[in-house]
Amino acid sequence: MSAGRNINSKSKEWGTPEKYVNAVIDFFGEIDLDPCSNPNSIVNAETEFVLPVDGLKESWEPYKRVYVNPPYGIDKERKTSIKNWLEKCVESREKFGCEILALIPVATNTGHWKKSIFGKADAICFLADTRLKFLVNGKNGGKGAPMACCIVYWGAYNKLFKEVFSKYGSCVDIRELKG
């Protein structure tokens, strides 16, 4: 179980759809790091960590523009989950000043949202795609996601974030939650 839902896929590699890769590039210009890439990724970041290189264990310094589409579900072998990736986003923003975009499931009732997004992130775009179609092996044709998804932003360019991502959904500035 995860956030009240059954985990219905053994795959943890949900490839980012091309339109969102393009939006991330429109926002950043270039992507310096994709810390949770896979051999079929179309992100084409300057640096890509692909297992066995573990993006959770490697430092995200000196990378300034980081795009994260974390493995969904729980990796029992590595004992990791989306929670760990969100914690790494917050840590890398605070320690190194990384600008970070993350494509994740909307699960506002979870502890990892309360700990790593509310009060830590700067903006969220709740994507209008009701069943986001992730890539499978780098190609279109995947089933729709069983959950709503969003892009979370940790960084200083909220106005640009809203300009770029508002065409994909509803953008919310959450800086006032930083109390």
In this prediction, residue 60 carries a pLDDT of 98
Give the CA dihedral 35, 39, 44, 47, nearest 10 degrees: 40
Q: For residue 19, what are its two tokens?
A: 């339109």
In this prediction, residue 130 carries a pLDDT of 75
Phi, psi of 23 (to 5 degrees): -65, -40
Task: Tell whether the model's pLDDT for residue 102 goes beyond 50.
Answer: yes
15 alpha carbon, distance to own chain's centre = 11
Q: Which CATH class is domain 18-174?
A: alpha beta
Return d(Cα 73, Cα 54) in angstroms, integer: 16
CB 25 within 8 A of CB 166: no
Return d(Cα 134, Cα 47) in angstroms, integer: 22
Read off the pLDDT band of 12 (50, 70, 90).
low
Mean pLDDT on 103-113:
95
Token match 């995947």: residue?
Answer: 142
What residues does 135 pair with on adjacent strands? Answer: 15
User: Nearest-CA neighbor of 56 among 76, 79, 35, 37?
Assistant: 35
**What would the pLDDT profile of 35-73 be if each residue is shown by its tens digit?**
999 999 999 999 999 989 999 999 999 999 999 999 888
Question: Can you give the residue ranges of every domain in the chain?
Answer: 18-174
Read off the pLDDT band of 77 (50, 70, 90).
confident
167 alpha carbon, distance to own chain's centre = 18
- DSSP symbol at 137: T
Predicted TM-score (pTM) above 0.75: yes
The answer for 49, left when phi > 0, alpha when psi is -120 to 50, beta otherwise, is beta
AA identity, residue 152: V
